[in-house]
Structure 1
Amino acid sequence: MKILVFAGYYLPGFKGGGPIKTIKNLFEQVGDEITFKLITGDRDLGDNAAYTSVSSGEWIQVGNALVLYIRPGIKGYAQMARELWAKEYDLVYLNSFFSPRFSVFPLLLAKVLRQKVVIGPRGEFSEGALSLKSFKKRWFIKIFKLLGFHRDTVFQVSTDFEAGDVRRVVGSGVDVQIAENIGAREFAEEIETRAYRVLNAVFVSRISPKKNLLAALEMLQKVQQPLNFHVYGPVEDRDYWRECEKAIATLPPHVEVQRKGTLSPDEVVKTLEKYDVFFFPTKGENYGHVIAEALCAGLPILIANTTPWRNLHNLGIGWDLPLDNFDAFSAKLDELATMPFGEYLRMRRHVLNWAKGKFSQNDTIEANIALFKYAYGKK
């Protein structure tokens, strides 16, 4: 089977976050069985300059896939059109629903050419995600349905929760298949000792409204115990970051916040394992690779109930709380800060053991292969 993949960002880029890891893991784990060709941009998120380590406009072998890095503008669109028109593939696989360049354009052309399409919306249909730039998104959804594109498209989701989001937005009869993203397999080597009386919390993600850093900072207003909060990730929205800086300036003196820059993919787990809790009240994720990486680092996670990672307290690996209750987040941070060290250490070891069991399974790989076989065989 040959699959033509479209995504806005890929290696050597890393600022695009989870989708890059999703595609990389897919190619690594499934690329021996399925032939993948990827068309992507020639620069990282927010960068004006192209990558210097790859050549634009020609197919390059990157791991288990061939990758075509295209320039912005008409020339890039023409290259995409030529590849689609050649029909040297069995499926078109889109890693976004709303990207004008890498989803809308190839979707329209693939439908004109009567090609089979799989879309991985990556959490874009969650209520939190749809609330951002909602007018444009809802108009595109209406046009998509009006043209009947939803009838012959297979949507890939990670969980039943995301399947519900897709059906709520696109229609109850849409073809939705569950195939969880292939997650991290790197684990912490040892559990770090927590600094006495100071909780070290960490946030790793793009700084944008969807990731909800501003809410995290507002939740810190009512934290009673000493706390250090380190923020890693590229600034995607500079106006939003300025709002965050204003919120940081109003925090109580026992709460210290530092922005620490951006992590490359191979630095994430090694960096996370040095902290005490992963604090990430995101507005919505279809998977949340960084959440999986935090678990692989043996970190308890404190997140919003807007992701597939649910019932965390019952599993003993963290908490998923509603975003309309900021005080609950503050209280959990205080609870962790005052937790006896022996109890905290047992929790971290439990998190790490749980993650090793979760991410060492092959079920997810088999589900992804089954998804593409299903879409390929669909009449």
Structure 2
Amino acid sequence: MKITHIISSIDQSTGGPARSSTALINKLCENESIDFVDLFTLYSEDPIITNFESPKGKIRFCKPDFLKLSKELESELNESRANIFHGHGIWDFPVSQMAKVARRLDVPYIISIRGMLEPWSLKQSFFKKRLAMFLYQHKDLKNATCLHATAEMEAESIRKLGYKNPIAVIPNGIDLSQYPVKIWKEHKEGRRKILFLSRIHPKKGIEYLITAWMKLDADIKSNWEIEIVGNGDREYITSLKNLIKSNSLEKSIKIVGPKFGQEKIDVYHEADLFVLPTYSENFGIVIAEALSCGVPVITTKGTPWRELNIAKAGEWIDLNESELVRSLKLHMSMNGIELHRLGLNGRKLIEEQYSIESVALKMFDVYNWLLKRSEQPKFVDVWKG
């Protein structure tokens, strides 16, 4: 079996999809029933990786042409001899080029939606997306052999838009070996830390975190600080800094640049609480990373992480200021042992349900099914009319 994956970019700046797709491919390369896995992507100045660990996998960087169309990519896809094509993300042309080639060669293809059909996401750049839907995107999605959603919530959004394809519901996976659990320190020096780590973008709800912080009593936050880690649009970051400065919060809220590799792990380990007050996430890979490191998480119902409440690993809340103030007050009032227990519950949740090993095995089962080599997996929803 040969699988060819396509994603527009794996640059450091692109965030979750680049990390989760390359982690998946790395693990698929270990499957003895897979002969080769390659990933086609456009040239990047700062890719998260330049190749896979296994000789069974290869990353192929293609030169972009006008509007990120790539003649080189289309030529390579035509010659790839893949049994299955797997595209990650929509709207950009590389995955659409893949879909076009797959239909011409009569090769099954999967599209991982990556949250890009969620209601909040569809409202952004609305007219451009409507045009893209008319020109190519609807055709690519409608004719996909299978669509991939990372949670039931995302699958429901896809169905509401009228797509009747089979939908495989498989979460993003975490390579737990890359995210060791933080060591709890009974007598921690310095202030306790709330961490936001993600792409700095209006959809992430960072303003909610800042304004909620302003409404906390001084005695509750006297020994706490917020660290906002990530990259994004310069103008937006400047607006956040101005909000912080205008309310004299420079000593308690800091915005720093993105962290990668061991520096990112260190940032997670320094945190006592992770907060992502987002409007919309199909999965939220940073939530899984924080939990893997043993950090309790507060996030909103714009994510599919209702398990936080069940596992007692933090809290899954409505997206509004009063709820965030309440949840922050609750968790910031806990002592170190209580927060540590929540963090360990989170690590256990990831180990049991989100390990990259289990996710890669599920994706392999989908590939086998699409090639008519096995029965339909239980986690694939087939439209019944």
Alignment counterpart, residue 228 of structure 1, candidates 225, 228, 246: 225
Runs of 4+ in 1 over 6 A off after TM superposition: none
Q: Percent identity?
A: 20
Equivalent-residue separation in structure 2 for 1:117 and 1:108 (angstroms): 10
Query: Which aligned pairs between 1:57-96 and structure 2 lie closer than 5 A?
Result: 63=54, 64-73=56-65, 77-96=70-89
Matched, 1:260 2:256: yes
By how many angstroms is 1:313 displaced? 2.1
One of 19, 22, 29 as aligned partner of 2:20: 22
How far the C-alpha of 1:218 sits from its partner, in A, is 2.9
TM-score normalized with structure 2 length: 0.84
Cα RMSD (Å) = 2.9
Residues 282-336 of structure 1 deviation map (CA, whole Å, 9 limit, x = unaligned): 222222221111001111101111222114223211111122x211112211222
How far apart, in 2, do the equivalents of 1:251 and 1:195 lie?
A: 28
In the alignment, which residue of structure 2 is the partner of 1:335? 330
Structure 1 residue 39: Cα displacement: 1.0
Q: What amino acid maps onto 1:179 in structure 2?
A: I
User: In the alignment, what sits opposite 1:57?
Assistant: none
Which residue of 1 is the match for residue 361 of structure 2? 366
Whether contact under 8 Å (2:172, 2:359) holds in the other structure is: yes
Report which stretch shifted further, 312-321 or 217-226: 217-226
Q: Pick the aligned partner of 1:214 from 197, 207, 219.
A: 207
3-state DSSP class of the match of 1:92?
strand
- The 3 A distance-change label for structure 1 pair 114 and 350 is closer
Q: CA deviation at 1:194?
A: 7.2
Q: What's the counterpart of residue 383 of structure 2?
A: none
Q: Which amino acid aligns with 1:268?
A: K
- Cα separation, partners in 2 of 1:372 and 1:256, compared to 1, 3 Å: same
Matching residue of 1:158:
150
Deviations 1:212-243 (A, max 9, x none): 323332332312232311111122x2222222
Structure 2: which 5+ residue stretches go unaligned?
374-385
5+ long unaligned stretches in structure 1: 44-48, 55-59
Match of 1:175 in 2: 166
CA separation of 1:299 and 1:327: change in aligned 2, threshold 3 A: same
> What's the TM-score, normalizing by structure 1?
0.85
Alpha-carbon separation, structure 2, partners of 1:99 and 1:140 = 9
Cα distance in 1, alignment partners of residues 150 and 170 from structure 2: 5
Match of 2:339 in 1: 344
Contact 2:311 2:345 in 1 (8 A): no
1:187, 1:356 within 8 Å by CA — same for their partners in 2?
Answer: no
SS of 2:40's equivalent in the other structure is strand
**In the TM superposition, what whole-angstrom CA distance separates every residue of 1:67-117 from its partner, at most 9, and x where no partner exists?**
1112332697111111122251112111101123x2233323433443321
CA, structure 1 residues 81+362, in 2 after alignment: closer, same or farther (shift >3 Å)?
closer
* 8 Å contact kept, 1:118–1:375: no
The 8 Å contact of residues 296 and 339 in structure 2, kept in 1 or not, is answered as no
**Superposed counterparts of 1:1-379, under 5 Å:** 1-10=1-10, 13-33=11-31, 34=34, 35-43=36-44, 49=45, 63=54, 64-73=56-65, 77-100=70-93, 102-144=94-136, 147=139, 149-169=141-161, 171-185=162-176, 186-193=179-186, 198-224=191-217, 225-226=220-221, 227-235=224-232, 237-251=233-247, 253=249, 256-323=252-319, 325-360=320-355, 362-377=357-372
Distance change >3 Å, CA 350–CA 106, structure 1 → 2: closer
Q: Could you tell me how far apart the structure 2 residues matched to 1:284 and 1:360 are? A: 23
- Give yes or no for contact 1:200–1:275 (8 Å, CA) kept in 2: yes
Query: Distance between the aligned counterparts of 2:215 and 2:24, measured in 1?
Result: 41
Judge which range, 211-220 or 305-314, deviates more. Answer: 211-220
Cα distance change on mapping 1:276 and 1:251 into 2, 3 Å: farther
| Aligned counterparts of 1:85 and 1:353: Cα–Cα separation in 2 | 44
CA contact (8 A) 2:24 2:356 kept: no
The CA deviation string for residues 216-273 of structure 1, in whole angstroms up to 9 with x for no partner, is 32332312232311111122x2222222122212346597111222111443333212
The answer to whether the 8 A contact 2:195-2:274 is kept is: yes
CA offsets 1:3-43 (integer angstroms, 9 cap, x no match): 22111233xx4322211221222122211333211111221
